[in-house]
Amino acid sequence: MARSADIGIEDLAILRELERKVLWLASWTIHHANYIRDNADGLKVGGHQASSASLATIMTALYFHSLRPKDRVAVKPHASPIYHAIQYLLGRQTRERLEAFRGYKGAQSYPSRTKDADDVDFSTGSVGLGVAQTLFSSLAQDYVRAHGWGGDEPEGRMIALVGDAELDEGNIFEAILEGWKQGLRNCWWIIDYNRQSLDAVVREGLWARFETLFRDFGWDVVILKYGALLQGAFAEPGGDRLRAWIDNCPNQLYSALVFQGGAAWRKRLTDDIGDAASRLIETRSDEELGRLMTNLAGHDLPSLIAAFNAIDHDRPTCFIAYTIKGFGLPFAGHKDNHAGLMTPAQMEAFRAAMKVRAGHEWDAFEGLSIEPARLAAFLDREAFAQHGVKRKARSILVPDELPVAIQSVMSTQAGFGAILNEIGRDQAEYAARIVTTSPDVTVSTNLGAWVNRRGLFAREAMADTFKSERIPSTFTWEFSPKGQHIELGIAEMNLFILLSALGLCHAVAGERLLPIGTLYDPFIARGLDALNYACYQDARFILVATPSGISLAPEGGAHQSIGTPLIGMAQDGLAAFEPAFVDELAAILSFALAYIQKDGNDQPSERTWLRDETGGSIYLRLSTRPIEQPQRTITPELRQGIVDGAYWMRKPGPNAQVIVAYTGAVAPEAIQAVGLMAEDRRDVGLLAVTSADRLNAGWTAAQRARERGLVHARSHVERLLEELPPHCAIVTVLDGHPATLAWLGAVAGHRVRSLGIEHFGQTGSIPDLYRHYGIDTKAIVTAAQALTPGRPIRHLRALA
Ligand SMILES: Cc1ncc(C[n+]2csc(CCOP(=O)(O)OP(=O)(O)O)c2C)c(N)n1
Ligand SMILES: [Mg+2]
């Protein structure tokens, strides 16, 4: 029950009006999209009204009263119309965008950081991900604070509005476990316990499972079940019977009665508890009885505000708030209501109840009984109280060249470890802003030396017992608030969601971090949706995936990856690289550290047609295969080629019959093949492709530009291939799916044979597997011979 100190009577009256207004605006937005903007015969898309209404009260309490400037909220996807309506009232959303809801450039169906204009904190839509993101954002906030950044304003609370069925998503449980290990604080999850999912009514008694589960992992649990009206009724004669009846009522029956309304409540209650609670039932009209029985705490502003105000600690808190799906709307409680849309007739009735005149549907204060000036003053005050001024983080300067001692034979994974080891020595600011993380593969992805230098992060220092006991070990495992590595448990989903949180610190916490996460390449697939969402909301990070392909041969068949280069190409917002040599990796990494901070306009570069000024995240596919390193200096031109995606390792002559284009760890085979063919085929070239993704993206962009009339637009790959004679053939090869490079033939019309991996699982040595899967030297030469006229390539016979 609200204490008088929780909220003044006047403010409560205003909130009640705003709650009605928010529900109206959200419902009207959906109605408008379905019946007014799109013509009446057009496709109707439901899926919002009932889900939204369920959260209208809770979001009113939060956004118009309880949120503080540093708080950040992940809104349940289907509550997006409520969110947009609230932002509209707060002056951060336009009528045009509401009118265009889920239309072209309109307000989004699911809250979107990047596509919406009304200051969405976290993109949601794929259920479960936004929820976990609040947990990791809270850890990210701790990280920022512990490193002395982020100022002395009060810490923010990271709040998720969670659907009860959303809790079926396994990634949430992975996050809860990780949160417990990391000493989670300042995180609130408010469960919209409407006991309905998309298809139907959920299982009985879920709240009790949730309660024990959260408590087991160190959360406080607050159950918000009865509103003030119900609590009042419990004090009346027979009230305890009513309470017991509610507590024992199956979810399905409760939902059905909510849908049927007052008369049905009367009949059922009279039948069941009429003997003990007759007065309680009889003194109320049907309407009053209906209002009483739907007065769950999730729809009771005083109860919600009291509960939020009561939290005077930073322990993670789970609120289980009983709500009604479709509250206040005609299909409240109906099990099929997820996609329910109000008919025009129902909307007219709702309009009358809301006192909204035709033509005034979008007026903020239409139909409210409090004077507009008071409402406006209240909203102004809340708009500022909530957000203050959001600070934008500045960029951190990154050196153009990263020093590294390159051994004559080395793998890109070892090179990565060596480069980070060097950065670990550097006192420059960018080195201090790097934060690394890995799901229990820190050592096996070569981050060990960096971690030895920079330490592990924890809010409380924790010594390495092996070290204090003087037991020799290669790695120091010391935790402190200054540490720069966040060690995660094995769940890859958590890695991506943490990277998403760290990679949004510049926007969420106003402080720039340079996050680098490592994992085994095949396990990208484990967390793909989380990676996709991280990119979708424009989080910035570097993903280092190693080992990869079948080149990890000694590790065995189960860890081989095939499709990841295609993921790298297809994933929006992620630029993928696969260097073969460590000097290339150093050039790419220094580019990457700057690229993840870019935030410029959308204009592509005229050189590559890539949107480098816009920036994004980076994916590096690395290998454990030690290969001979070229002895060379990296000229500015070579550096540019590496970063743009390809360069000629051996430039083809004017009469070239064939070129080999390779990516990554198969470089030695490609180099050897070209050497062996040189005597029997003219002017053979060797193209080193460091990023099929960037080459391809530049090419498609340049084509679009030409189609728009920019006749001189040329991408990097077009310039590289433009001098090849038309009869020249291309053999492509990589340790990954052959489609990654197969498109090269279409750039200037050359025949192509693409070698790569289409099956996996075989164990063996690297030569065994390259032979088995057809990416060894012999396979390259054989392909070249088959594509090009001329005498047999003599050296082919000598190859095993
Ligand atoms: C990962 C994922 N799977 C499926 C869906 C489709 N979907 C959207 S909402 C929903 C059910 C939501 O139920 P609940 O979380 O209880 O929210 P409510 O609508 O009851 O408020 C489903 C299955 C989705 N958005 N994301
Ligand atoms: Mg639900």
Q: How does pLDDT run across 112-148, given as a tens digit for each residue?
A: 999 999 999 999 999 999 999 999 999 999 999 999 9
**Amino acid at site 169:** E
Rounded to the nearest whole angstrom, what is the distance from the C-alpha of residue 76 to the centroid of ligand 1? 9
Q: What is the pLDDT of residue 4?
A: 54
Q: Is the pLDDT of residue 522 over 60?
A: yes
Q: How many helices (H) and strands (E) does the chain have?
A: 32, 20
pLDDT digits (tens, 9 = 90+) for 210-224: 999 999 999 999 999
pLDDT digits (tens, 9 = 90+) for 664-688: 999 999 999 999 999 899 999 999 9
pLDDT bracket for residue 287 (50, 70, 90): very high
192 Cβ inside 6 Å of ligand 1: yes
Q: Is the pLDDT of residue 354 over 60?
A: yes
Average pLDDT over residues 256-285: 95
Within a 13 Å sphere around the CA of 104, how many CA atoms are in the beta-carbon half? 1
What span, in angstroms and rounded, lies between the C-alpha atoms of 78 and 56? 11
Q: What is the mean pLDDT of the chain?
A: 94
What span, in angstroms and rounded, lies between the C-alpha atoms of 752 and 481? 54
- Both tokens of residue 458? 């924890």
Residues 6+ apart with CB under 8 A from 643: 587, 588, 591, 690
In DSSP terms, 542 is beta-bridged to 516, 618
- Both tokens of residue 472? 């020799």
Rounded to the nearest whole angstrom, what is the distance from the C-alpha of residue 215 to the centroid of ligand 2? 21
pLDDT bracket for residue 373 (50, 70, 90): very high
Q: What is the pLDDT of residue 41?
A: 56
735 Cβ inside 6 Å of ligand 1: no
List strand residue ranges (DSSP E) for 145-261, in order: 158-163, 187-193, 220-224
Rounded to the nearest whole angstrom, what is the distance from the C-alpha of residue 58 to the centroid of ligand 2? 14
pLDDT bracket for residue 14 (50, 70, 90): very high
pLDDT bracket for residue 392 (50, 70, 90): confident
Instruction: Decide: 84 and 107 in contact? Cβ < 8 Å.
Output: yes
Nearest-atom number in ligand 1 for the CA of 164 is 16
Q: Report which protein residue has its CA nearest ligand 1's atom 21.
A: 51
User: How many angstroms from the chain centroid is the CA of residue 65?
Assistant: 28
Q: What is the pLDDT of residue 161?
A: 98
What span, in angstroms and rounded, lies between the C-alpha atoms of 583 and 585? 5
- Both tokens of residue 283? 């003194």
Q: What is the pLDDT of residue 46?
A: 72
What span, in angstroms and rounded, lies between the C-alpha atoms of 628 and 626? 7
Specify the pTM.
0.96
Q: Is the pLDDT of residue 723 over 80?
A: yes
Rounded to the nearest whole angstrom, what is the distance from the C-alpha of residue 80 to the centroid of ligand 2? 15
Phi, psi of 592 (to 5 degrees): -60, -40
Q: What is the pLDDT of residue 353?
A: 96
54 Cβ inside 6 Å of ligand 1: yes
Instruction: Decide: 329 and 266 in contact? Cβ < 8 Å.
Output: no
278 Cβ inside 6 Å of ligand 1: no
Q: What is the pLDDT of residue 740?
A: 98
pLDDT digits (tens, 9 = 90+) for 298-326: 999 999 999 999 999 999 999 999 999 99
Report the C-alpha dihedral over residues 477, 481, 483, 486, rounded to 10 degrees. Answer: 80
Burial 610-647 (b: 16+ CB within 10 A, else e): bbbebbbbbbbbbbbbbbebbeeebeeebbbbbbbbbb
669 Cβ inside 6 Å of ligand 1: no
Burial 547-565 (b: 16+ CB within 10 A, else e): bbbbbbbeeeeebbbbbbb
Q: What is the pLDDT of residue 541?
A: 98
Rounded to the nearest whole angstrom, what is the distance from the C-alpha of residue 128 to the centroid of ligand 1? 9
49 Cβ inside 6 Å of ligand 1: no
pLDDT bracket for residue 283 (50, 70, 90): very high
Nearest-atom number in ligand 1 for the CA of 54 is 21
